[in-house]
Amino acid sequence: MITSTSNPKVKQLQLWQNKSKERKKDGVYIVEGIKMFLEAPADMIKEVYISQEILQNVQKESESNIFLKEKIQLIEFETITDDIFKKVSDTQTPQGILTVMKRPKYTLDDITASENPLVVVLENLQDPGNLGTILRTGEGAGISGVIMSEGTVDIYNPKTIRATMGSIYRVPFIYTSDLGETLQELKKKGIRTYAAHLKGETYYDSLSFKEPTAFLIGNEGNGLTDKTASLADSYIKIPMEGQVESLNAAVATSLLIYETHRQRSQK
């Protein structure tokens, strides 16, 4: 059992929690909580840490713990005292399970391989909660994947991970150093690109998204850069009442991808 903050594994966990560069260098990310542990692909799990209290609860005969107990029995894990676990956790009320995951490796082809791709393209999004919500909602709406500019927040940020609620495991995503070049690749693959833009003159619900589609979503405060917006096939807008000029990036994305889902679900 790990009982000291001077333990090398504790120090490493704290580095991974707090330093994006350390996570990237080691090719890992951290997920917390029982749900995230249960949904984690077994072949992508690197390390598991369980608090003393949770382990004792799981070992009790309880039907509510059966799935957790079964998975724990199949893996190797480290036990940590409750006090130390709080120091390596990123949450104020830890659930007692912390899983270190290997990073997946996706390509643009992984995102566009489906028969009728639906892609979300994000430029310089900064809010980790927005990014996580887009992945979560995107899975629900059936998107093929997410493409992000290098200026977009780290998808492995602990706040982003929590907001995905497990979708981080299932939605393909990539970062690109040249968003313009990537958009050109999408066009070569027959994917039509739509920019959510204040200058748009066509309401999104008056267009058809039944063919391969990509939605371009910009930074929360500034929207898409002029350079990126100019590469879109069309500008689209969302109806606004009152004095509201724009919506939260995750909300706007949700409206667009669920409209696409609605259209494609119609017989």
Residue ranges for the chain with pLDDT beneath 50: none
Alpha-carbon span 242 to 214, nearest angstrom: 29
Cα angle 57, 59, 61; round to 5:
90
Alpha-carbon span 44 to 85, nearest angstrom: 22
- Residue 30: predicted pLDDT: 98
164-198 confidence digits (pLDDT tens) = 999 999 999 999 999 999 999 999 999 999 999 87
**Hey, what domains does the chain have and what are their CATH numbers?**
8-102 (3.30.1330.30), 108-265 (3.40.1280.10)
- Residue 246: predicted pLDDT: 73
Tokens for 186? 């999408």
Place of tokens 């894990």: 77
Could you tell me where the beta strands, DSSP code E, fall in 192-233? 192-196, 213-217
Nearest to 184 by CA among 94, 136, 112: 112
- Residue 61: predicted pLDDT: 61
Helices (H) and strands (E) in the chain, counts: 12, 10
Alpha-carbon span 51 to 119, nearest angstrom: 39
Contact 10, 84 (CB under 8 A): yes
